[in-house]
Amino acid sequence: MPKNNRTPGVALAATAAISLLASACTGSADSRATDDPNARTTLTFWHGWSAPGEVAAIEANIKSFEKKHPNITVEIVKGITDDKLNQALRAGGSNAPDVVSSFTTDNVGRFCTTGALADLKPYLEKSGIDPSKTFLPQMARYTEHEGRRCAVPLLGDAYGLYYNKKAFEEAGITAPPKTLSEFDEVAKKLTKPKGDGYEQLGFMPSFQGYETTFEHYASQFGVEYFDAEGRSNLAEDPAAKALLIWQKNLADKLGGHKKLEKFRTGLGDEWGPKHPFHTGQVAMQLDGEWRGRMATDADLDFEIGAAPFPVPDDQVADYGKGYLSGTILGIAKVSKKQNAAWELVKYLSTDTDAVVSFANAIHNVPSTVAALKSPQLIDDPLYRTFVDIAQHPQSAHAPSSVNGGAFLLTAQDLGVRHESGREKDLDAGLRKTDAQVDKDNEQAR
């Protein structure tokens, strides 16, 4: 399930988590665990899932692990936020977890550089596991930072385009758009104004909308966030400027920032049955694989389709790609039971039956190559669209950063200012954004 939507409240929470994690000093990187993984022991596993079905699914996998490792008992703590996780990793002590998962993929760089999570390379080598071959390569890349692997993927998320088939049919649209110019025309055609609002909006492009963030758009444009020296590169990358211009132009075509914002603030909750895509208020939605299951549970009165999100017209050869994210799994550096903890991490992240059953249960994308090929993986066409997006060679997550996801929030802020018309000089805004990102990264080192 997604945990990267950057609405203002989430942005503040993410910033706080990054700031807290920045102060973490949790031991030297060359320490070695000495515990006996075959001895009777108890591990503490912290995770963020809270929905009943999700909690039941991870607990089922833990029970399967305990059957295979009868000497290890796992105590599970659910619903853990990144704030609480970061505090525990910083403080250590007897109440700290041994194994942790996080939905904030953007924080991998910070987890690795602070030493909050143990280096998994020795454990992977000891077990004969090559991350680039075992895991989907795109997911393997977003769980390491500058050659240091402090996490492994535990299922993933792929983003694409959901569309209301009934609205498409009524508008005479026969297929989902592949390029952004086609997408703009479809979004306009599907939009039905009503008074100072909308009876139906073709697409909500706002940077404060559900999942329509700079980061998610950037994957379609192929934005290069940093140059070879690690400095922010947005002002020098034509793709970043093209993204911001396209987004604002589409917002203007659909009624303008003020009208869209007024409509947006009256929409239903992202995680409830009144999501605007469910209610038909919005005809197309950028979202992840979980939305298909949620739409089914909402018992919609129309059929939905799914396709890759469109790409810029000059990148049509790369159509099929999308933004990737996912849950990460690691061992707390403060843990005194790292060898036993590795057995749990290895099982949850690489055992094919465990990965497939968990993916099927919570409707996420498998993170191992073997699981993606498994005949046991659900074959729902909507879901399979996102499995295909995840495997596209150009699908990717944003690069890891020493300052976690702070650089993405800074780019997002620029997008909000530009969309609203408060940033009059886009080139100057991009340069200011680069300067702020570089300053923040330098302070985080």
pTM check: above 0.85: yes
pLDDT of residue 445: 79
Residue 351 scores a pLDDT above 90: yes
Query: Element (H or E) spanning 325, and its range?
Result: strand 324-331
- Checking if the pLDDT of 76 tops 90, the result is yes
Q: What residue ranges of the chain are covered by domains with CATH 3.40.190.10?
A: 8-157+324-387, 159-318
At residue 30, the pLDDT reads 40
27: tokens are: 């031991």
How many of the other CB atoms lie within 10 Å of CB of 83?
14
- pLDDT band of 87, cuts 50, 70, 90: confident
Q: Is the pLDDT of residue 259 over 90?
A: yes
CA distance 103 to 106: 9
* Least confident span in 95-99, 133-137, 221-225: 95-99
DSSP bridge pairs for 194:
197
Backbone angles phi, psi at 59, to 5 degrees: -65, -35
Averaged pLDDT, 233-257: 98
CATH fold for the domain made of 159-318: D-Maltodextrin-Binding Protein; domain 2 (3.40.190)
Strands 152-164 and 304-307: antiparallel
Give the pLDDT of residue 13.
Answer: 38
Using one digit for the tens of pLDDT, what is the confidence trace for 166-210? 999 999 999 999 999 999 999 999 999 999 999 999 999 999 999
Instruction: Give the mean model confidence (pLDDT) for residues 150-168.
Output: 97
pLDDT for the residue 403? 87
Q: Which whole number is the average pLDDT over 54-59?
A: 96
Per-residue pLDDT tens over the stretch 388-437: 999 999 999 999 998 889 999 999 999 999 999 999 999 999 999 999 99
- Kindly state the DSSP code that residue 123 receives in the 8-state scheme: H
What is the pLDDT confidence band of residue 361, given thresholds at 50, 70 and 90?
Answer: very high
DSSP 59-104: HHHHHHHHHH-TTEEEEEE-S--HHHHHHHHHH-STTS-SEEEES-
Question: Taking 50 as the threshold, does the pLDDT of residue 373 lie above it?
Answer: yes
Q: What is the pLDDT of residue 32?
A: 64
> What pLDDT band is residue 314 in, cutting at 50, 70 and 90?
very high
Catalogue the E-assigned strands of 85-188: 99-102, 152-164
When comparing pLDDT for 3 and 395, which is higher? 395
Predicted local distance difference test score (pLDDT) of residue 23: 39
User: What does the pLDDT read at residue 17?
Assistant: 43
Q: Does domain 8-157+324-387 correspond to CATH entry 3.30.200.190?
A: no
